[in-house]
Amino acid sequence: MTMTNPYKYCHFLSNPVAKPPCRMINAAMYGFFVSACEQKMQQYVDATLNTVANDSVSFNVLGSVCLLTFTDIEKISSLTPPFSEQGWMQETDIIIWLPVSKVVNGDIAHLYWYPAFISVNNIYALINGREVCGYNKYLCDYDMPTPANKTSRFSISLPCFDVFSANSKLAMHELLSIEQDNINT
């Protein structure tokens, strides 16, 4: 006996979800290797990836360095009709990548860069990443170099609580910043 789904998916016309794949034009990525606490990274992996692990498969961080990327995409659009005919947007992604190994029966089977934290600058990037791909994304404000702004500062600010307390109000706080030193050679 074959069962069919009696419910048909309804895509609302105002829904900003656009089906992948997409085209990115004029993307600039900056990457920084950052020292991190291996134990805290493993705790994060245990609370996320390892919740689906079993006796023969697990995920382990590799070392105490992660990768922080700032990526500015001048123009991004869906390649899938009808979304490909609806327009394009600018998008910026700031991601903390953890080096992770997939261990199967005690042997390393794969190496991954796990996107543990993703922040974006617009609601469409957030909704598409969460709804279509299931990524854990947040909205942010940021500074980074652009063709019009030759700053050497990279920063990210998020709406968050300064401390966890019943009296804390959600507000924008700078999470981190990186400034380039001018080195004369």
CA 185, CA 169: separation in Å to the nearest integer?
A: 47
Domain parsing of the chain, residue ranges: 22-179
pLDDT reading at 8 higher than 90: no
Q: Quick check: helix, strand or coil at residue 60? A: strand
The region of weakest confidence among 13-27, 71-85, 129-143 is 13-27
Give the global pTM: 0.84
CA 117, CA 164: separation in Å to the nearest integer?
A: 20
pLDDT reading at 172 higher than 70: yes
What average pLDDT score do residues 13-23 get?
77
pLDDT at 177: 93
